[in-house]
């Protein structure tokens, strides 16, 4: 079964694959994590004994902080990922496509924060259950001088509608679980003390269904592949990331604590302070 990974911890039992995201200190999405996600989901794709996949985090504070600002430092690996990207999507959108097109239903257990690419990962999953007191989700890209580039704009249109998608993207705010559930961004908010048991029960119930039911249900409810929207998103992001403003904002943010536990605790305020 699954090989050892450096950014993931994987266990499979009784039809449930539990994948724990583990990339200290704040669980950024690195090129290595992207490669390992592609690998493990590929391994599980043809395993009919696995009926549901649950993603959680080794860090209770951060589910996935965002895409690693240093991701291009892994140039060879990033280029490898880019070369293997399917037609019509960029390397970041490809992660969401992996989740959305995985045969098994995918559940996210969100106890901490998910921003930027982390929020896109969450929205690409089939079901999301979040801790009422501790979870947070936000598309912070606008505060970095860019727009979402990993499918986030399209997932938000699908989940919350255009008006709320614009609110989420343009404010860059971190949303609590109760608000995210009310918007339709996630399935529901669950008291933190009950989250583990709740997700375990949902996953167990899915795994206990008759053979093929979970896979056929996801197949029947397969998501759209918004290639035109992905292309618009890629053009918008490319036009902004190529300019001096975004790079300067990210560089200054790193100098002031981005990608450290302290700086990521209130990354929205840190980023707003960069523009004053």
pLDDT in tens, 26-35: 999 999 999 9
pLDDT digit string (tens) for 122-133?
A: 999 999 999 999
Q: Would you state the torsion angle of the CA atoms of residues 52, 63, 180, 41, taken in this order, to the nearest 10 degrees?
A: -30
The domain spans of the chain are 8-209+222-274
pLDDT digit string (tens) for 191-223?
A: 999 999 999 999 999 999 999 999 999 999 999
pTM of the model: 0.97
pLDDT digit string (tens) for 128-150?
A: 999 999 999 999 999 999 999 99
At residue 242, the pLDDT reads 87
pLDDT digit string (tens) for 73-128?
A: 889 999 999 999 999 999 999 999 999 999 999 999 999 999 999 999 999 999 99
Q: Are 116 and 241 in contact (CB under 8 A)?
A: no
Q: Are 122 and 186 in contact (CB under 8 A)?
A: yes
**pLDDT at residue 2 greater than cutoff 70:** no
8-209+222-274: CATH number: 3.90.226.10
Peptide bond into 237 cis (omega under 30): no
* Closest-CA residue to 184 (of 162, 208, 154, 156): 156
Give dist(CA 270, CA 109) in Å, integer: 26
Query: For tokens 């902080």, what's the residue?
Result: 65
At residue 3, the pLDDT reads 64
Q: Are 63 and 108 in contact (CB under 8 A)?
A: yes
Instruction: Return the percentage of the chain with pLDDT > 90, whole number.
Output: 95
Instruction: Return the percentage of the chain with pLDDT > 70, whole number.
Output: 99
């Amino acid at each position: 079964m699954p090989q050892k990974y450096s950014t993931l911890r994987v266990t499979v039992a009784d039809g449930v694959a539990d994948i724990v995201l583990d990339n200290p200190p704040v669980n950024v999405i690195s090129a290595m994590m992207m490669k390992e996600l592609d690998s493990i989901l590929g391994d599980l794709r043809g395993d009919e004994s696995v009926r549901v996949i649950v993603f959680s985090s080794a860090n209770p504070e951060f589910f996935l902080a965002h895409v690693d600002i240093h991701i291009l430092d892994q140039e060879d690996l990033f280029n490898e990922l880019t070369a293997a990207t399917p037609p019509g999507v960029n390397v970041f959108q490809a992660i969401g496509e992996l989740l959305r097109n995985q045969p098994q239903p995918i559940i996210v257990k969100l106890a901490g924060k998910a921003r930027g690419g982390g929020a896109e990962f969450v929205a690409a999953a089939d079901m999301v259950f979040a801790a009422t007191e501790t979870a947070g989700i936000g598309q912070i890209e606008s505060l970095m001088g860019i727009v979402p580039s990993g499918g986030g704009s399209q997932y938000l249109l699908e989940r919350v509608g255009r008006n709320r998608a614009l609110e989420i993207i343009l404010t860059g705010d971190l949303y609590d679980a109760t608000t995210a559930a009310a918007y339709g961004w996630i399935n529901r908010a669950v008291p933190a003390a009950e989250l583990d048991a709740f997700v375990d029960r949902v996953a167990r119930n899915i795994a206990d269904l008759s053979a093929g039911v979970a896979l056929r249900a996801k197949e029947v409810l397969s998501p759209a592949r918004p290639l035109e929207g992905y292309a618009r998103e890629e053009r918008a992001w490319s036009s902004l990331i190529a300019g001096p403003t975004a790079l300067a904002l990210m560089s200054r943010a790193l100098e002031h604590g981005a990608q450290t536990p302290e700086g990521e605790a209130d990354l929205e305020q840190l980023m707003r302070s960069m523009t004053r």
